[in-house]
Amino acid sequence: MNNQRYVVIDVETTGNSPKKGDKIIQIAAVVIENGQITERFSKYVNPNQLIPAFIEQLTGITNEMVENEEPFSAIAGDIFELLNESCFIAHNIHFDLGFVKHELKQAGYGGLECNVLDTVELARIAYPRFDGYKLTELSEELKLEHENPHRADSDAEVTAMIFLHMMDRFKRLPLPVLKGIRRLSWHLISDAQELFDGLIVEKDGRAELEEGYIKVGSFVIKAPETAPEEPEKETFPPRETHIWEDGSGLSSLPRFEKREGQTKMMKEVWTAFTNHEHALIEAATGIGKTLGYLVPAAVYAKQTEKPVVISTYTTLLQQQILQHDIPLMQQAVPFSVKAAVLKGRSHYLCIHKFEQILQEDDDNYDAVLAKAQILVWLTDTQTGDLSEINLPSGGKLLWERIALDDRSYEKTRPFKELCFYERAKREADNADLIITNHALLLTDEINRRIHTAHADTFVIDEAHHFERAAGEQFGARADYVSLHKQLMRLGTLKQRGLLKKAERLFRSFDISSETFFQIDEWLGRLIEESDMFFTSVHAFVKRRKPKKDVNRLLYKVGSGGENRAWSRLEEGARRLCAMLYDMHQLFLDQKEQLSGKRASFTSRQAFLLEEYQSCMAYLEEYGNKLRRLLFEHADDEVVWIEIDAKGAKNAAAFYAQPPDAGELLADRFFTRKRSVVLTSATLVVENSFSYMIKKLGLSDFYPRTLQIESPFSYDKRMKIMIPTDISPITNDHPEDYTADVARYITALSQQPNAKVLVLFTSHDMLRDVYQLLKDDDDLQCQLLAQGISGGSPVKIMKSFKSCQQAVLLGTNHFWEGVDFPGDELTTLVIARLPFKPPDHPVESAKCERAKQKGESPFQAVSLPEAVLTFRQGIGRLLRSREDSGMVVILDRRIRTSSYGRVFMKALPPASVEEPDLSGLKAYISRL
């Protein structure tokens, strides 16, 4: 480490803004010299004002603790001397530096001279794979003790330790990477130039590149791992067939307990594979579903010397299978199993693109930070997969430019051995098990270029989503935002966009740039026309669906509301499509002019042209898509518009989907496969697979079916409450029902260490309940709400898990696919039975089809869909044998309606009670 003196500072304050009068109540410093902590300082400060209650709760610092302490002015001289001409380090530098500078200035110490380093920013660069960069998250990842979070002395100490860890990490980076970060550092918050200069000098004279790395242009990647030597050929069929006969072969698994349901599943999967049949298996939580199909899949792959493809709906489950379940399975079988994950091209970094974009002089902060992160990440990734790296929100735009696509794929030839997508393909080609996702599987089926063509045996996990995924993949979408983004990327000749750069390129080769002036004119009109068109679409839908309390409005095209206003929209769409077509014709002229010139281009010029061509090709494709959606869609295709009623006036999107994706799945997927096993925790309605068989298009295949019950002791572990005094759900007085929901949530929050998840079907109801709870003084715990509390559902879930007592209000995302094991969830509340809105275009089209067949739309479509979602929601509570808790259903229709019995049948075999609010409170008081 260089000779710079570093001072790590942390302050606790009465609020967030020194300009609004907030004051420091504790300050701590840790001094680092020559890579060692040499000094510590900590002091409580009297702010001469009361500490707010929430600050006392957060920090544990009370008014009594500071009332006899000195004010900041008394220690200002010491702080100024400590910091002056040192490097000021803090975790979120703007906060601590802002308070310290403000307090020093008020005490008469202005003009503090010091460089600054932000450990949040540096941690993002040093550890681009970490899930989060809060002090608690970093200390957990780096296994550092953090005794008192939100106390200045503890926070300063752990920040200093994190900084020392980061310095060690930076020292180990190859020299080209350090030089690359140094070039980018001018645009960072931190004054990091001196720090990286010192690290570069330390490496000077050593080898430019250590073993294990490969230099590509101006950056470095980790050398691809060589495949381990093949073991001696194993003979199959193996004697291990008894694994699913009696389960004894699984005894080698750590902490493995023989599960009857898992053994049943293994036998059923094996039978379906060997008989070349399709099968539906509902495997309840707790039976070990994933191992239940992985073990027979591995044996079958070895026997047939053909891979088995495992497809999931979520990338989260893909990673879990690869990182957790495959290693467990490997211990269960006495032969080696190769597994590979295969995703779409856009998930992988394009080495060719990154080399070009890295050379650009970019002053966008998120793009610069993302580039620095990627430089470090490339020194240890073997996959180049986006899911591995935690980019800033603006960094996603950079990723769109550097991700592999169909056009850039050809440019990877010089890097074929290094190309991450090629590596993934090679691994998949040599794998026994290929793990992919529904979207890619179905997209590749459409394009007939699936890389698993030699595979004919499949497992579809999370199978209750397969038909929906098919509908999305067989459909289309066109919206304002994606079009506007490409138009802005292209820019006009007066802006710093691709059009201006391409025009300069043409002129530099003495090619006429006349077409650029014509395209520039078209672009100006296109930007104006697209804005007018989507604004008109937004207004059209809003006038026909004027719901004040609903944010997302949908309008089904062809529903009878088309009139002169609709005709005007069609005219606008034709103009937009015509403009996009005419502009593309000008672009084709440009391509003609370039013929014979390309050989003279430098790599940067060639890359610029690739980006320009990619953008123009996107606009042509967009015009074709919009034309299809409005004028050329299939007769049996559902087309609709969605708008954000309370958002921008042009926030509108067109969608098209087949009303029955099951028919397409039958023709394009199931008929071409020898065996497909579909599994999920929820495939059955009223103890029958009939609905799911029909939905998936499997009726003509007569699939095998098996329902495996959960081994959990629901009668001992789960209590189900259906309150009697909840207001009925009516459109006349929804506020009465909302108020009752809020009252019950407040009562449930009084449980010891309560962790309450409340599931809603409408964000608008969620928002109304949130407003009531926010103002309720009896709610003495953390309140989190999807779409309100800030952050993604994943971040909200992490916050919920970390709280000792909390209430989380969630909608669609939280009905399934989220796990809260142990005491992370004590109570599950279902605010309303999860019927889909009957006016959703796909839903209404399915209901219309059922009516045409003489079926009841409610019984044939709406009810079974709601029951499956209901079962998914209930499944959030118990995730292991040791879990326990309470389910509270606040929708009396489960007891009062004729269809309520179907939901009651869907409940686990647990005791059901029907108390009123006072009865529930009495039960809680006894806990």
Residues annotated in a binding site:
283-290
Could you give the CA distance from residue 785 to residue 783 in angstroms, rounded to a whole number?
Answer: 7
Q: Contact at 8 Å (CB) between 116 and 34? A: no
- The token duo for 314 is 């979520």
Could you give the CA distance from residue 9 to residue 29 in angstroms, rounded to a whole number?
Answer: 5
Nearest CA-CA partner of 774 in 725, 807, 798: 807
Annotated binding site for ATP: 283-290
What is the helix, strand, coil percentage profile of the chain, to 5?
A: 50, 15, 35
Angle, CA of 254, 255 and 257, to the nearest 5°: 120
Task: Count CA atoms within 13 Å of residue 308 on its CB side.
Answer: 28
Which amino acid belongs to residue 139?
S
At which residue do the structure tokens 């279902």 appear? 830
Q: What does each C-alpha distance from 840 to 88, 381, 471, 639, 668 come to in angstroms?
A: 56, 43, 14, 11, 26
Nearest CA-CA partner of 422 in 433, 410, 434: 410
Sequence-distant (6+) residues with CB within 8 A of 521 are none
Strands (DSSP E) found in 430-475: 433-437, 457-460
Could you give the CA distance from residue 452 to residue 442 in angstroms, rounded to a whole number?
Answer: 12
Could you give the CA distance from residue 69 to residue 64 in angstroms, rounded to a whole number?
Answer: 10
- The token duo for 87 is 């490097």
- Whether residue 711 is preceded by a cis peptide bond, meaning omega within 30 degrees of 0, is no
Tally helices (H) and strands (E) across the chain: 38, 25
Could you give the CA distance from residue 155 to residue 434 in angstroms, rounded to a whole number?
Answer: 45
Could you give the CA distance from residue 95 to residue 120 in angstroms, rounded to a whole number?
Answer: 12
Could you give the CA distance from residue 412 to residue 351 in angstroms, rounded to a whole number?
Answer: 7
Beta bridge partners of 32: 6, 37
Could you give the CA distance from residue 358 to residue 372 in angstroms, rounded to a whole number?
Answer: 9
Could you give the CA distance from residue 424 to residue 404 in angstroms, rounded to a whole number?
Answer: 13
- The token duo for 288 is 């070990």
Could you give the CA distance from residue 507 to residue 503 in angstroms, rounded to a whole number?
Answer: 6
Dihedral (C-alpha) 508, 509, 511, 513: value to the nearest 10 degrees?
-20
Q: What does each C-alpha distance from 656 to 627, 628, 888 come to in angstroms?
A: 12, 9, 38
Sheet containing strand 24-33, edge to edge, reads 36-44, 24-33, 6-13, 87-90, 115-118
State the DSSP H helix or E strand holding residue 706, giving kind and residue range, or none if neither. strand 704-708
| Buried b or exposed e, range 315-353, using 16+ CB within 10 angstroms | bebbbebbeebbebbbebbeeebbbbbbbbbebbbbbbb
Task: Count CA atoms within 13 Å of residue 204 on its CB side.
Answer: 7
Rg (CA), the chain: 31
